[in-house]
Structure 1
Amino acid sequence: MSFESVHNVHFLGIGGIGMSALARWFRHEGFVVSGYDKTPSTLTDELITEGMQVTFEDSLDTIPNEVKESPASTLVVWTPAMPKDSVQLAYFRENGFDLKKRSEVLGIVTKNFHTIAVAGTHGKTTTSSLIAHLLKVAGKPVAAFLGGITQNYQSNLILGEKKAKEQSLVVVEADEFDRSFLRLHPNEAVVTSTDADHLDIYGDENTILDGFGEFIKLIDKKGKLFIQFNAAERLGQERMPKVFTRKYGLRSEGIRAENIQARPGSFVFDYVDGQKVIPHLELFIPGFHNVENALAAIAVATEHQISDDQIRKGLASFRGVKRRFEIHRNEKHSVYIDDYAHHPEEIRACLSSVIAMYPMNKLTVIFQPHLYSRTRDFAEGFSESLSLADEVILLDIYPARELPIEGVSSEMLLEKIQSKKKSLVSKADLMDYLGKSNPEVLVTLGAGDIDRLVPGIASWMNSRQKMNTV
């Protein structure tokens, strides 16, 4: 399929992070873009400001007339998160419109470009953003579709000023959820992790490993794969592709980091790949896991003939992605970090890095579990990883697309957490609870709506410090 006959593009679920990046791309390419989403957000506000018509009522009256009158020249992009009883979705299905899932459209958009696809159950947003940033800093003609808002570009879409035909490289986040990444056509791929997740979709660990195996088999025969060492071990040789493959990791024998130093606000390390060493690189998105993400990004950059100096400059200027180890306050005895971590391994990586950066300070964690099924499937892992903190505050489970599961609650995690202090607190009572405590290093974690609490917590941390210094 091409988009030559398309004039209007209408998105159902336009406010989603992946959907909005596609909407921005179509707008950049000169299409008339409109869409529906359930609730307004900062992201939908930005789309409206950029010239897109966005509505928040699922009715026929809110569909633009130009869309309703032009089914032959309209593409409708939808997300599986749309309710099955959606009025707009039913209308488009019944009236001859061309409907495609976001993953299908992303596959079509990227098919004619040299595509660098970044997959993994953790780390793909930061890694894909950093790859795109290194390429852009080096002057490469790159476009990037990302699963988060980059701090450098304040967007989930990175583009040059020219139209798509002038872009020769595309970096895309390859999402394993709903097997979306199987729609892509990668020339190069990065796999950051293959831990069990999305078991509500895949059923069991072996099936998700099979999914990653199918993804890497899509790599062009002349292409390249960069895979995290443990991820490769989990996949096993039978799932590995017959393409140029390089393994990376903090303890890998291939591409690795040496002389790692954890500092408040940054990590310093040497990049070593058997062919070259780039010493004393500084990364201002802290965390051992982010050093590992940087190894993959540097490896890709070197394959595109980006110089050591350009890599050093790009790495030092990268400011990360919102809600990925985002430091809101970094003062002595008053630190606040927010992270999207919602899987036990992500939590372990985040908290281990925080402890390395601030070893002498009390660590308080606020965690909002995401999905009843994930909480049930990984309950023991959640309790174990959260036990790294001195104090744990649990919020209620964020249900997202699920209905409650009998017997599954945040309380089931609390019982096995070994921290010195642990509590169940409602979102409504959280600020009062914090007001009675004295956190030194505070970390908020979760993929639900905990992000809506972040501005208030950051403001409270700042005002509390001012009061203490008066």
Structure 2
Amino acid sequence: MSPHHTPRLESLGKVHFIGIGGVGMSAVARIMVARGVPVSGSDAKDLPVMADLAAAGARVAVGYAAGNLADAQTVVAGSAIREDNPELLAARQAGLPVLHRSQALAATMGDDTVVTVAGTHGKSTTTSMITVLLRAAGLDPSFAVGANIPALGVNAAHGTSGIFVAEADESDGSFLNYRPRIAVVTNVEPDHLDYYGTAEAVYESFDRFTALLPADGLLVACADDAGSLALAGRTRDRGNTRVVLYGTSETAAVRLHDGGPGDVSVSADGVEHVLSLQVPGRHNALNAAAAFTVALELGVDPAAAAAGLGRFSGASRRFEQKGSARGVRVFDDYAHHPTEVRAALTAARSVAGGHKVHVLFQPHLFSRTREFAAQFADALNLADTALVLDIYPAREDPIPGVTSQLIADHLKEGGRLVAAADAVDTLAEAAADGDVVLTVGAGDVTAYGPRIVEALRA
């Protein structure tokens, strides 16, 4: 299957998911089951979502074996599946079409009005905000998000309104598989250079993304981000689709006023609407403005759109509170790019008031650490205490000479490397009443938050 060909749902037949327990894969499987497709799947371990899928009607196996394919006619393979996986080998041997998750998701969208959210940061949050807002306004969208959303209870669902809201991931170019009518771009920065190679290639892929919009389509772009604003300009110059800007800038059609927590509003067509956001930080206020813009385009009453945003309580691992003890609040954030780390720490500062902020950061990927070591340190220096763990390798092999020391070299006083065994106690001792502790990164650093809360209680 070529990377940018989307098959029709009815042509897939029986679909087998290799790695069905993953957050993105389970999302697609859930929607296919709801849309009447016979679904089977397997994963290396028994994950909670697999019981949900089995209850919904999917045939689910734990462990990989060629026999799990049974009479499948199409296979969907998760990005983490290795080429030597016995099910993938069997599928290729049988000549079955093997789809990327995004191709399978695009097939489920069918003839719906598709809203895709792309950008280097803020995709999950903005996709979730749009979904929560539309539901609050009485629309029932289908949706697929790359994170679990407490306000929705699930990360994907089949809706009845003919609107489909999805996160579009640029990390491997797969966002080019969708055919959106409305595309949101929150920001455009060089990232995933292990895939793209150069910053220019990243910008070019976003150009190809906005070129997918039809003549009656709409690009919703952030005026506060240089990359997104430049993309909007190039899209406008091509003249193939409308462009609406949102942000604090005077050029934005949907203007954001952000005076900090409790003082956020948007104005469109000269009318101001107060947003009672439950999530802190300028980045979240901008994400909310993007969601508001999409809702207006879909015909939602502006006042209802503003009210609906108040129901969004955050996405999991996006400045998610893990608990508190001794007057110290502990949060966790998935930030793994310098801009995201800066946003998370800026939000932590606003929540801490005059108190201190302590951060435990786990770099994600050797290649990203090599590219952005100084920028990571620059962002971490916003904290009073910045402790850095060893690099979480994820899919990569080590790169000689690339360690967390590259970041530590640029940290100011209060910043240093920390051994995994010492991290919890060190933070529990550093934090005082009123302080905020933040665990940051896309790896297993998320497990440290509850342990820090326990240590504070001890």
TM-score (norm 2): 0.91
**What amino acid does structure 2 have at the position aligned with 1:232?**
S
- Hey, what's the Cα distance between the residues in 1 that align with 2:258 and 2:88? 54
Please report the RMSD computed on the Cα atoms of aligned residues, expressed in angstroms: 2.2
**What amino acid does structure 1 have at the position aligned with 2:233?**
Q
**What amino acid does structure 2 have at the position aligned with 1:429?**
D
* Contact 1:278-1:308 at 8 Å conserved across structures: no
Map of 2:4 onto structure 1: none
Confirm or deny that 1:216 pairs with 2:210.
yes
Map of 1:269 onto structure 2: 264
Map of 1:385 onto structure 2: 379
Q: Deviations over 1:180-215 (max 9, x none)?
A: 111110101100010110001111111100000100
**What amino acid does structure 1 have at the position aligned with 2:129?**
L
Map of 1:173 onto structure 2: 167
Q: What is the CA-CA distance between 1:342 and the residue it aligns to?
A: 0.4
Secondary structure in structure 2 of the residue aligned to 1:151: coil
- Hey, what's the Cα distance between the residues in 1 that align with 2:316 and 2:351? 20
Task: Pick closer, same or farther for the CA change 1:433–1:53 going to 2, 3 Å.
Answer: farther
- Hey, what's the Cα distance between the residues in 1 that align with 2:393 and 2:50? 22
Map of 1:251 onto structure 2: 249
- Hey, what's the Cα distance between the residues in 2 that align with 1:345 and 1:219? 28
Q: What is the CA-CA distance between 1:179 and the residue it aligns to?
A: 0.6
* Contact 2:19-2:43 at 8 Å conserved across structures: yes
Map of 2:186 onto structure 1: 192
Give runs of aligned pairs for residues 371-450 of structure 1, distance below 5 A: 371-418=365-412, 420-439=413-432, 440-450=435-445
Q: Deviations over 1:243-273 (max 9, x none)?
A: 11111123343122225232xxxx4312023
Map of 1:468 onto structure 2: none
Q: What is the CA-CA distance between 1:236 and the residue it aligns to?
A: 7.0
Confirm or deny that 1:352 pairs with 2:358.
no
* Contact 2:360-2:439 at 8 Å conserved across structures: yes
Q: What is the CA-CA distance between 1:51 and the residue it aligns to?
A: 4.8
Q: What is the CA-CA distance between 1:5 and the residue it aligns to?
A: 5.5
Confirm or deny that 1:105 pairs with 2:104.
yes
**How many aligned residue pairs are there?**
445
Secondary structure in structure 1 of the residue aligned to 2:316: coil
- Unpaired runs of 5+ in structure 1? 161-165, 465-470
* Contact 1:129-1:146 at 8 Å conserved across structures: yes
Q: What is the CA-CA distance between 1:33 and the residue it aligns to?
A: 2.5
Map of 2:77 onto structure 1: 78
**What amino acid does structure 2 have at the position aligned with 1:15?**
G
Secondary structure in structure 1 of the residue aligned to 2:443: coil
Task: Pick closer, same or farther for the CA change 1:204–1:140 going to 2, 3 Å.
Answer: same
Map of 1:203 onto structure 2: 197
Q: Deviations over 1:133-190 (max 9, x none)?
A: 1111111231111111111122111333xxxxx4311111111021111111010110
- Hey, what's the Cα distance between the residues in 1 that align with 2:76 and 2:449? 31
Map of 2:330 onto structure 1: 336
- Hey, what's the Cα distance between the residues in 1 that align with 2:162 and 2:54? 29
Task: Pick closer, same or farther for the CA change 1:228–1:236 going to 2, 3 Å.
Answer: closer
Q: Deviations over 1:21-72 (max 9, x none)?
A: 00111122233332223344444454455554444423325x1xxx42x24x
Q: Deviations over 1:101-120 (max 9, x none)?
A: 11111222224111011100
- Unpaired runs of 5+ in structure 2? 1-6
* Contact 2:275-2:307 at 8 Å conserved across structures: no
Secondary structure in structure 2 of the residue aligned to 1:378: helix
Secondary structure in structure 2 of the residue aligned to 1:116: strand
**What amino acid does structure 1 have at the position aligned with 2:395?**
R
Quick one: which of 13, 19, 30 aligns to 1:24? Answer: 30
Q: What is the CA-CA distance between 1:18 and the residue it aligns to?
A: 1.5
Quick one: which of 354, 359, 363 aligns to 2:357? Answer: 363
**What amino acid does structure 2 have at the position aligned with 1:23?**
A
Map of 2:3 onto structure 1: none
- Hey, what's the Cα distance between the residues in 2 that align with 1:459 and 1:301? 42
- Hey, what's the Cα distance between the residues in 2 that align with 1:188 and 1:394? 39
Task: Pick closer, same or farther for the CA change 1:345–1:109 going to 2, 3 Å.
Answer: same
Q: What is the CA-CA distance between 1:239 and the residue it aligns to?
A: 5.0
* Contact 1:146-1:156 at 8 Å conserved across structures: yes
* Contact 1:125-1:146 at 8 Å conserved across structures: yes
* Contact 2:258-2:285 at 8 Å conserved across structures: no
Percentage of matched positions with identical amino acids: 36
* Contact 2:439-2:448 at 8 Å conserved across structures: no
Quick one: which of 276, 284, 288 aligns to 1:290? Answer: 284
Map of 1:278 onto structure 2: 272
Quick one: which of 233, 253, 276 aligns to 1:237? Answer: 233
